[in-house]
Structure 1
């Protein structure tokens, strides 16, 4: 007989916690061992409660779900984390995935989807709701389309910028004029919709250009 999976819930709205408790209490194989409206308090409680799954809100006042996820995965790597949110923005989902979540579902989801998410995550799989998956696919395609507009020479210059080469150094290495390098840089910023080197490098890192 499989052991019951122990769940801890953190959300800054008690009503959300109460609603989740009503649903989870009807699902066999799971039990809620703790809850909190404070992410900081939740972090302290997890050490003593031996939870298997953490259900966490994404947007909380004192600590975001992203930061909480990073801390939990660092301190308690065995805990599986499912994010709960009202929003499905691809950037937020991507940051939560990078932090270490195993699932992401919207708060307006139905009971069956919550059950499916809990079952999959508890068995070692990942779960992302249909709306979330669609947003991620759209974002991936959009990023591919944006990156594909960059020429090989522009990508080459981005990689040189990342190595902190100035316009003159880039011009000398590529056997082109500084004016041409400057034109390339302006085109790169325009195509990537960035205004600074920091913004450009962030764009390039996120899209695996560098």
Structure 2
């Protein structure tokens, strides 16, 4: 009896790169890409709609960063495994992705065989990490408690947008909130994190891999 196809939602913000990954996935036997997007919030909505077997997501997504996308997608569809595609190999990015529920972390600089291996691994209920990356869950002990985990979902959204360089009015427009409400969420987040300035907030999220650094303009 033929196994059902592995249904995948793909989230990557660069169209050309997304087309390349879609082609790789389509060429993989038994894999079906049911939806694709370049936006973080839409990726969560697509996972909730399609309930795919796997979400393949970049970490650098507009709207919501990839880590928050994974966190929300897994909450909306617990049966969906998450595979990260990233150019970042720092352990902070890997740890944050795994902490959000990712089962595999594939470096974009690796060969296409890594993506295929990641899909095979998560299909079997396993995990996969590109060469040179360590599985944080395999180091023993639990992940140290991070004050970031005490932030509300809205506070996280505001933190991500601030780290991306948006002003309070710009973030308010993106989130359909008032600038005063955005400033309140930012102040509350900074208080919970023990930070005294916006510069410290931006440095905090970048050092911990919560928001990947902005890519240079092409």
TM-score (norm 2): 0.60
Equivalence map 1:1-210=2 (5 Å): 1-133=2-134
> Using the alignment, how far apart are the partners of 1:23 and 1:2 within structure 2?
20
Aligned residues: 142
Deviations 1:30-76 (A, max 9, x none): 11111001111122222222311000011223211111111011111
> Using the alignment, how far apart are the partners of 1:74 and 1:25 within structure 2?
27
CA contact (8 A) 1:8 1:53 kept: yes
> Using the alignment, how far apart are the partners of 1:91 and 1:85 within structure 2?
12
Q: Which moved more, 1:59-68 or 1:75-84?
A: 59-68
Shift of 1:133: 2.2
Task: Give the 3-state SS of the residue equivalent to 2:109 in structure 1.
Answer: coil
> Using the alignment, how far apart are the partners of 1:74 and 1:67 within structure 2?
11
1:185 aligns with none
Report the structure number with the largest CA radius of gyration: 1
CA contact (8 A) 2:7 2:34 kept: yes
CA contact (8 A) 1:13 1:37 kept: yes
> Using the alignment, how far apart are the partners of 2:82 and 2:38 within structure 1?
16
Shift of 1:121: 0.8
CA contact (8 A) 2:103 2:127 kept: yes
> Using the alignment, how far apart are the partners of 1:75 and 1:50 within structure 2?
8
CA contact (8 A) 1:113 1:129 kept: yes
Task: Give the 3-state SS of the residue equivalent to 2:133 in structure 1.
Answer: helix
CA RMSD of aligned residues (A): 2.4
CA contact (8 A) 1:105 1:132 kept: no
Unaligned runs of 5+ in 1: 141-196, 200-210
Shift of 1:198: 5.2
Unaligned runs of 5+ in 2: 140-192, 196-218
Shift of 1:109: 1.7
CA contact (8 A) 2:38 2:62 kept: no
